Amino acid sequence: MAKITLPDKSVREVPDGTTVRQFAESIGKRLAKDAVIAEVDGQPVDLFFPLAGDRSVRIITRQMPESLDHLRHSCAHIMAQAVQRLYPGTRLAIGPPIEDGFYYDMDPERPFTPEDIEKIDAEMQKIVAQNFPFSRSELRRSEAIERMKAEKQTYKVEMLEEWTDETVSFYTQGEFTDLCRGPHVAATGAVPVVKVLRATGAYWRGDEKNRMLQRLYGTAWWSKEDLDLYVSRQEEAKKRDHRKLGKELDLFSVHDEIGSGLIHWHPRGSMIRHVIEEEWKKEHVKRGYLMVDTPHIASEEIYRISGHLEAYKDLMYGAMMIEERPFRVKPMNCPGHIMIYKSHLHSYRELPMRLAELGTVYRFEKSGVLHGLLRVRGFTIDDAHIFVSPQSVEKEIVDVFRFAVEWLAKFGFKDLSIYLSTRPEKSVGASEDWERTEHALRNALSSAGVKFEVDEGGGAFYGPKIDVKVRDSLGREWQCSTVQFDFNLPSSQRFDLSYVSEDGGRKQPYMVHRALMGSLERFFGVLIEHYGGAFPVWLAATQATVIPIADAHIGYAGQVAEGLRLRGFRVDVDARNERTGHKIREATLLKTPYMLVVGEKEVAAKQVAVRERSGKDLGVMNVDRFEQLLAEDIAARR
């Protein structure tokens, strides 16, 4: 008899050789029906796995999210089977489940076309309808290699040769067999909803030196409703795509004639940027940061000293000769800030010295990686370099981290993922410095009471760091803030930074690079998607549009707008010869927070009729009252 312990600690006895499926049936029909695979002593197994001896069993049902991985893994096999039927001789690589779906990398005779994808999809549906059971077989690894060689499955051979297992397993459904650890769903018919999405290229083992394979992506779900939900989530993301909204809301553009990855901020986008920049400066000055500005080009000399010319050259643009001296466009702001620091002798009393700049840099990015505002070639870092003594480094880092959290919260980013990266094997700097600064970073995080992940050895060679990612309204993560120590640039081999300590001697300060947003371009892109284009009042390019009903009301509309503008609000007038409905529609599409309709009644009463972009009618009110409304929104960052 097999003695089976269930997750609730209850124990059941069944005859040896009882399969997982039979075991599930012995518990209940529903459970047997919903069972996808099981875990026996923590190992995932198929439903046909025979039980014997003392075992702990956990049956994974469709209701458990992890069951989707197994469903999708099985779908990858079905996809491979379909491809083998349609394009015999296609060599198979790997086919794992991923978030929201699965893929299979393969090496067909020619790349897949959109028509191929339709055919593959249709063939997969056929295989599902044929309801082949998945079965498992085992071979000695050497035999498996022979078999894969015979079938010319060179990628499988390569993998098998690297493994060290004695035996390996294969799974068969119908005429198709694939090397696989399993487990799988019971049969191809157990797949309720599967769809092939697209084909793209992918390097074998993710290495660009290797051959490029074709990756077929697919998705699979337990129900049509789940698929629909997934599709509508994709559609929502598409609707919020910052490139699309950027055009629709007239925020920014890029131009072939000027170059890709170079952003042009239109008046409406630029207005938002200015609001962010003003707020940024205000908050920095409040915290004792000193504003600086540094040039966009610099002699190569400086990058030779900083080491960028060597370590960073792939990302730097080529030299331009100015009076026979090579210059470069700046890829970093730090050398300039360091030169400002170095232009005086500093006392320990002046530290921490915090130099801040919205510094625009240019980096060469391969054409294929450029992406709207999120990955560009020219961008503005909300940069600061802090020169700090070892004594005050702890407090300073606590303050910097708190600053970052408070800043991101202004934009509604409350759900942060935080990563601490520590000393890698190859690194510069004294152990004492690494220990002290890693401790400072760790302490800043724990004193803020936040959860964080530690990436041991994941720091840069020149110092440990904290990275902060924000989660947007669609649940996607974006890298924003970073706090990074640098033991390299202040060192005597580089810029040889110092300050005069209490005892009159020279000491080397710690240097911290930090950014709250990362780059204004990327942050703006993230904001567009986060807000879906509907910027809160404090950021909105236009906070209110005054809409005169007829020409007779234009004068009054102008007075209302001017009055609000004088008090610092961003208000315009839509005086075009269009009907009210038309103007409301357009202001709504531009996601202007408020529309102030003025007609005969409002002119007479010196009032405005307020409408929100949501369509909600707030009724008629005095301009003073509306102004108060705006002020409340701005204070609450609505």
Q: Is 484 left (phi over 0), alpha (psi -120 to 50) or beta?
A: beta
- Site membership for RNA, residue 461 (CB under 7 A): no
Amino acid symbol at 419: Y
The CA distance from 337 to 333, in Å, is: 7
- The reply on whether position 589 binds RNA by CB under 7 A is yes
Is 552 among the residues that bind RNA (CB under 7 A)? yes
User: Is residue 83 within the footprint of RNA (CB under 7 A)?
Assistant: no
Nearer to RNA, 185 or 309 (CB): 309
> In this chain, which of 286, 344, 366, 426 binds RNA, going by CB under 7 A?
366
Number of residues in contact with RNA under rule CB under 7 A: 70
**CA atoms of 570 and 634, how far apart (whole Å):** 12
In angstroms, how far is CA 197 from the centroid of its own chain? Answer: 21
Nearest CA-CA partner of 21 in 10, 37, 9: 37
Number of helices (H), then strands (E), in the chain = 19, 35
Minimal distance in Å, beta carbon 323 to RNA? 30
Cβ proximity to RNA: between 208 and 503 the closer is 208
Among 27, 31, 86, 212, binds RNA (CB under 7 A): 212
Segment near RNA (CB under 7 A), from 43-51, 259-267, 344-352, 491-499?
259-267
- For the bound state, the minimum distance from the C-beta of residue 551 to RNA, rounded and expressed in Å, comes to 4
Stretch that binds RNA, among 161-169, 278-286, 424-432, 478-486 (CB under 7 A): 478-486
**Distance between CA atoms of 615 and 594, rounded to whole angstroms?**
9
Taking the complex as a whole, the smallest distance from the CB of residue 554 to RNA amounts, in Å, to 8
* Cβ proximity to RNA, 213 vs 388, nearer residue: 213
320-344: b (≥16 Cβ within 10 Å) or e? eeeeeeebbbbbbbbbbbbebbeee
Please tell me whether residue 457 binds RNA under the rule CB under 7 A.
Answer: no
Residue at 380: amino acid letter: T
587 three-class SS = helix
CA-CA-CA-CA dihedral for 340, 345, 348, 349, to nearest 10? -80
436 is a contact residue toward RNA (CB under 7 A): no
Q: What is the dihedral of CA 59, 62, 68, 73, to 10 degrees?
A: 70
- Residue closer to RNA by CB (options 49, 403) is 403
Please give the single-letter amino acid code of residue 153.
Q
Element (H, E) at 322: strand 320-322
What tokens does 612 get? 């929100």
Q: Kindly write down the DSSP assignment for every residue of 126-162, as one continuous string.
A: HHHHHTPBPEEEEEEHHHHHHHHHHTT-HHHHHHHHH
Asked if 201 is part of the footprint of RNA (rule: CB under 7 A), the reply reads yes
Q: What angle do CA 344, 345, 351 make, to 5 degrees?
A: 100
Q: Is 21 in the site for RNA (CB under 7 A)?
A: no
Choose the binding region for RNA from 10-18, 349-357, 444-452, 476-484 (rule: CB under 7 A). Answer: 476-484
When the beta carbons of 70 and 522 are compared against RNA, the nearer one is 522
Min separation Cβ 374 and RNA, Å:
7
For residues 381 and 361, the answer to whether their CB atoms sit within 8 Å is: yes
Reduce the DSSP state of residue 172 to 3 states and report it. strand
Among 239, 414, 601, 638, binds RNA (CB under 7 A): 601
Our finding on whether 254 is near RNA (CB under 7 A) is yes
Say whether residue 108 binds RNA (CB under 7 A): no
Q: Does 437 bind RNA (CB under 7 A)?
A: no
- According to the binding rule CB under 7 A, does residue 379 interact with RNA? yes
Give CA–CA dist 533/594, Å, rounded. Answer: 15
- Write down the least CB distance from residue 173 to RNA, Å: 26
Q: For RNA, which residue of 148, 309, 544, 595 counts as binding (CB under 7 A)?
A: 595
Q: Of 345, 369, 474, 636, which lies in the binding site for RNA, with binding defined by CB under 7 A?
A: 369
91 in Cβ contact with 107 (< 8 Å): yes
Name the residue nearer to RNA (CB basis): 259 or 568.
259
- Name the token pair of 628: 């108060």
Q: How far apart are CA 404 and CA 551, in angstroms?
A: 49
Per-residue interface string for the shown chain with RNA, residues 234-253, x marking contact by CB under 7 A: ---------x---x------
Choosing from 33, 296, 582, 625, the residue that interacts with RNA (CB under 7 A) is 582
141-150 vs 154-162: helix crossing angle, rounded to 10: 160
Stretch that binds RNA, among 149-157, 406-414, 486-494, 544-552 (CB under 7 A): 544-552
Q: Which residues bind to RNA, rule: CB under 7 A?
A: 111, 113-114, 198-203, 206-208, 212, 214-215, 243, 247, 254, 256, 259-261, 363, 365-372, 375-377, 379, 381, 479-480, 482, 515, 518-519, 521-522, 549-552, 577-582, 584-585, 588-589, 595, 597-602, 609, 611, 615, 617, 620
